[in-house]
């Protein structure tokens, strides 16, 4: 199906008269994102589920759509007003308490890395991990565990491993004769992937 066929299907079958081939192309290229009703209609035209159009879910809304759960059901499960829940999706800022957060993880079947990401904790986690590997990792076990509730023994091992990897990486780069500039660049690349490295290390230990 070409963009013009998809646009026609959305207009004729789903009452979306404003959809043009150019808008469909913008969705395909990621220049624009369809709303929830548009995504549902698009999946209908393409004879697939909304989740199949998303790839790997990144946001709270995308996780919900991928699981084919209505926003009303999520709001009810977490004990939140529907409008408040929809605001959390739109703003990408989760303000639920610990009980609501746990309920959210259950209803959307969120893995821990996804839970941390969709509740807006990933940036703070990156900051803490950055400090842990560049200074004394022991001081960051409790703060990191508050954001990412990993088993304490596992977490201690992971932070120690990341700290050693970073320090060893810097030392090895200097010993190869690259100088401090190369070490700095190499270390920064490690830090840029610190959250990814963290979850990989956690997965290897659990």
Q: How far apart are CA 80 and CA 109, in angstroms?
A: 18
Q: How far apart are CA 63 and CA 126, in angstroms?
A: 22
Domain CATH code at residue 81: 1.10.260.40
**Judging by beta carbons within 10 Å of its beta carbon (0-12, 13-18, 19+), is residue 45 exposed, middle or buried?**
buried
Residue-level length of the chain = 206
For residue 181, how far is the Cα from the chain centroid? 32
Looking at the structure, do residues 12 and 41 belong to the same domain, yes or no?
A: yes
Looking at the structure, do residues 128 and 190 belong to the same domain, yes or no?
A: yes
Q: How far apart are CA 21 and CA 200, in angstroms?
A: 41
Number of domains the chain contains? 3
Looking at the structure, do residues 131 and 182 belong to the same domain, yes or no?
A: yes
Q: How far apart are CA 178 and CA 120, in angstroms?
A: 37
Q: Provide the whole-model pTM.
A: 0.66
Q: How far apart are CA 144 and CA 6, in angstroms?
A: 46
- Tokens representing 54 are 């998303």
Looking at the structure, do residues 109 and 85 belong to the same domain, yes or no?
A: yes
**Angle at 83 (CA atoms; ends 78, 84), nearest 5 degrees:** 55
Looking at the structure, do residues 169 and 126 belong to the same domain, yes or no?
A: yes
- Tokens representing 146 are 């508050």
**What residue ranges of the chain have pLDDT lower than 70?**
54-55, 172-184
Q: How far apart are CA 151 and CA 146, in angstroms?
A: 11
pLDDT of residue 28: 84
Looking at the structure, do residues 200 and 126 belong to the same domain, yes or no?
A: yes
What range does the domain containing 63 cover?
Answer: 56-117
Looking at the structure, do residues 29 and 74 belong to the same domain, yes or no?
A: no
Q: HEC string of 13-71? A: HHCCCCCCHHHHHHHHHCCCCCCHHHHHHHHHHCCCCHHHHCCCCCCHHHHHHHCCCCH
Looking at the structure, do residues 77 and 20 belong to the same domain, yes or no?
A: no
DSSP string, 73-99: HHHHHHT--HHHHHHHHHHT-----HH
């Amino acid at each position: 199906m070409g963009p013009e066929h998809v646009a026609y299907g959305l207009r004729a079958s789903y009452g979306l008269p404003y959809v043009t081939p150019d808008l469909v192309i913008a969705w395909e290229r990621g220049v624009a994102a369809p709303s929830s009703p548009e995504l549902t209609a698009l999946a209908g035209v393409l004879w697939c589920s909304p989740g199949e159009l998303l790839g790997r879910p990144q946001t709270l809304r995308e996780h919900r759509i991928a699981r084919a759960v209505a926003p009303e059901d999520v709001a009810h499960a977490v004990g939140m007003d529907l409008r408040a829940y929809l605001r959390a999706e739109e703003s990408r800022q989760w303000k639920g308490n610990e009980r609501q957060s746990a309920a959210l993880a259950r209803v959307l079947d969120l893995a821990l890395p996804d839970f941390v990401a969709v509740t807006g904790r990933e940036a703070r986690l990156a900051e803490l991990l950055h400090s842990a590997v560049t200074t004394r990792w022991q001081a960051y076990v409790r703060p990191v565990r508050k954001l990412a509730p990993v088993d304490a023994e596992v977490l201690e091992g992971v932070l120690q491993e990341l700290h050693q990897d970073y320090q060893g990486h810097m030392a090895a780069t200097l010993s190869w004769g690259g100088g401090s500039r190369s070490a700095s660049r190499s270390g920064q690349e490690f830090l840029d992937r610190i959250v990814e490295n963290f979850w990989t290390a956690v997965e290897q230990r659990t």
